[in-house]
Amino acid sequence: MRTDTGQVFKLEDYRPNDYLIPQTDLTFRLSPDATRVTAVLTVERRDGVSVSAPLVLDGDGLTPQRIEIDGKKAKPADLLVTSDQLTILKPPAARRFQLLIETELAPATNEALMGLYRSSNVYCTQCEAEGFRRITYFLDRPDILSVYTVRIEALRDEAPLLLSNGNPVDKGDLGDGWHYARWHDPFPKPSYLFALVAGNLGQVADSFVTASGRTVELGIYVEPGKEKLAGYAMDALKRSMRWDEEAFGREYDLDVFNIVAVSDFNMGAMENKGLNIFNDKYVLADQETATDADFANIEAIIAHEYFHNWTGNRITCRDWFQLCLKEGLTVFRDHEFSADQRSRAVKRIAEVRTLRAHQFPEDQGPLAHPVRPRRYREINNFYTATVYEKGSEVVRMIRTILGPDAFRAGMDLYFERHDGDAATIEDFIKVFEDASGRDLSQFALWYHQAGTPNLTVSSTHNPASQEFTLEIEQSVPPTPSESRKRLMHIPLAFGLIGAGGKPVEYSGVEGASVEDGVIHVRKRRHMVRFSGVTERPAVSLNRGFSAPVTLSVEQKADDQFFLARHDSDTFSRWQAFNTLLTDALIAAFREILGGKRPGFAPRLTELAGSIAGDEALEPAYRALALALPSEADIARDIGSNIDTDAIYAAREALALAIAAANRETFSGLYDRLADNGPFSPDAASAGRRALRNILLDYLSLLPGGAALAAGHFQSATNMTDRAAALAVLAHRHHGSPEATKALASFETIYGSDPLVMDKWFQVQASVPGPQTVDTVRALTGHPAFSMANPNRVRSLIGTFSSANQTGFHRADGEGYRFFSQTVLEVEKRNPQVAARLATALRSWRSLEPGRQAKAREALLSIANAENLSADLRDIVERTLA
């Protein structure tokens, strides 16, 4: 574990290293407790660098066994060796020399899951961001590109399969039960993309013929016996490869492409060149064990990692400040892929819900940072929703501003100009400026400035002059270390809608540049005047969520209802209804705090019924519309002085009012949707299941609800329906005989399947109410739970702290106390996972004073712990600052 050195890395301090490593030859002799790594590095001094410049290599917890320069043992006087650094004080005078370093590792005891470790007896690696330095001393930074050749030696019984990056070149027997394999990757790559896998794994094999006719051998490797669960992942991989050829003209470049699923993994998956390593959660699926959401995630993550081959691997990042260059862009690409494979409208709503749930709170709290940060203490803490999701929205806005053709021309230029480079955000923006002739300098602030911009909009219609005016004002709230903000370029898509939902015509517009239905907001205030407008239109704003902003719109409720029924933009139509629900929930929250019983307008609950039954709308869309804003969504919109119990009560009251008002419609539809034919994970079938399951959630609030949910659970033929019914029983009918029975039966059926048991932990960790902290504490002792496995920790502790508002924020602070103790316990093994967990308290200042004080105590108890890791100290100190 790296303890905190307090060092802050700054973007402006970047400079190229004095040395390059054009070639890296690695030999691994694998053993659980004593793996021998021999690295032979071809080192090259950069032009113009003094011969006396020392070579300083990064390490992390290493002990070198042997160091040779050009074949001769290095003299101790010429070296400075610590476990975190190897300095060659006087490198040879020749411009190129060879450096041999031998290290010894114990993968079996590596519980941080960075570098070389073991997962269920399989050797595997994770090197992004700085894990390679736990394997050997190296210039472990993304701008050092090297051609790797890797030889792996292992006992054949222990590891019949030996994989690394690139193409296989050689393999053979070594006697005494040992064997070896050699891999060569012709594409120079940074060390974070290095990977090795060795072990006993089952293989699913297939092949893919690229657009130019090359055959690529595909392999997905899983725990033996689970091969039948990898079919969907393989199908998703082949669709991704085809899509990248069609949508971006990008072909795969090696002879093989391998994916390995492991059960102990800090992240979702990793795009190592030619050898992606996956959290098995994002590979293994069938109808019995995976939900529709799992299938969709597998498709999206397989695509994401594959797309990195061009955006990340062929063109990588110059330094870690540029992380969004590969991540924001690749998330945008996987979003587009999923939109093409599924329903674009539904996908867009889901993306925006995720952005608001994860990125908006980041932007509004103490951990706010620009899409391209300028400083960090621990880069592991910057794999954030801002870098990924907001980074993707920024790329989407570039496409909105340029239009699809100029955007594609810019992407083509990016691949042409920067293939083989370690590039920057400036390089990326420049290709779009060059391809389109547009000036994106103001737009570039989206990369440099933190915070979610707000647009305040009001409108007036003058029937006499037939003029319609939109007054738009932008502001960006202050964020840590950025109190003054500059004005942004915000592409605001809009529509003017008249009676019957038809677009309202206008003859001219002034006050802002308006093109293709987009207002380009660039100044603090715009008065946008539309002339020749004969009737007062309803305004549909931020259509398709064209910019990641918040809107404060002065709009009549009548207009909102009108848009929720008639907006032709499906996103904005969903948004209009969602805004009505949010407004009603906030009003109910205030009534509850004032000691009143909340009431809801009949036209709101009726609208829910008419959306549910609208056969012109996709079932998946209707399911999304009926999903009430989450408690966290409501808390974010209220902003301060949050009482989580009152929010919960308001949300339950609205759910009950909607259910009671639509009982007949909902139950008729629920019955009609029962017959869904044979199982298929496709989007349309999944949408019908989603609609039926949300109807179940409403109907379960009415008399007979527990029996209905129990029947749903028992008759389920797939995990989507079974897990949905289990959640309804556990959450709505906590402690009932039906709920107890279903939880026990689920445990009996799936007790030996860790990924399915994660769902069982999740359901129980998210049961609302003060008692859940005790349940969760007890479940940490369950035989299926392990503090060492990130998936288990996220399912139980992560769900409790980030998705259980009433349990975690229990008024007496017990949820926080349990949380801080657990975070410290996880940290002993895995600082990265602990730091991620700790972000659950990032919005603590928006709580009411009592909870706020208790949350602060918990944060301080973490901050005051001894020997805190750099990862956790960074998060906790920024959160408290």
| CA torsion through residues 718, 721, 724, 726, sign | negative
Nearer to Zn ion, 67 or 387 (CB): 387
Spell out the residues 6+ positions from residue 447 whose beta carbon is closer than 8 angstroms to its own. 324, 370, 371, 372, 394, 425, 429
Distance in Å, CB of 158 to Zn ion, minimum: 31
Strand partners, 508: 531
Asked if 666 and 659 count as a contact pair (C-beta separation under 8 A), the reply is: yes
Nearer to Zn ion, 382 or 530 (CB): 382
Known active-site residue 305: yes
Using CA atoms, how far apart are residues 754 and 759, in angstroms rounded to an integer?
9
9 Rama sector, left if φ>0, alpha if ψ -120 to 50, beta otherwise: beta
Q: Which residues bind Zn ion (CB under 5 A)?
A: 327, 330
678: exposed, middle or buried (Cβ count in 10 Å: 0-12, 13-18, 19+): exposed
Asked if 301 and 285 count as a contact pair (C-beta separation under 8 A), the reply is: no
Backbone angles phi, psi at 471, to 5 degrees: -105, 120
Of the candidates 130, 132, 170, the residue with the CA atom closest to the CA atom of residue 150: 170
**Number of neighbours of residue 434 by Cβ within 10 angstroms:** 14
Nearer to Zn ion, 351 or 633 (CB): 351
Strand partners, 459: 470
Nearer to Zn ion, 162 or 387 (CB): 387
DSSP-derived 3-state class of residue 368: coil
> Which residue out of 153, 305, 351, 631 is catalytically annotated?
305
CA atoms within 13 A on the CB side of 591: 17
Distance in Å, CB of 251 to Zn ion, minimum: 20
Nearer to Zn ion, 329 or 563 (CB): 329
| CA torsion through residues 354, 356, 357, 361, sign | positive
Nearer to Zn ion, 137 or 320 (CB): 320
Of the candidates 768, 813, 509, the residue with the CA atom closest to the CA atom of residue 649: 768
Euclidean distance between the first and final Cα of the chain, in Å? 24
Residue matched to tokens 């050829």: 245
Nearer to Zn ion, 330 or 805 (CB): 330
Asked if 688 and 673 count as a contact pair (C-beta separation under 8 A), the reply is: yes
Strand partners, 115: 126
Token code pair at residue 714: 């028992």
Spell out the residues 6+ positions from residue 676 whose beta carbon is closer than 8 angstroms to its own. 685, 688, 689, 692
Distance in Å, CB of 218 to Zn ion, minimum: 20
Distance in Å, CB of 272 to Zn ion, minimum: 11
DSSP-derived 3-state class of residue 101: strand
The catalytic residues are 305
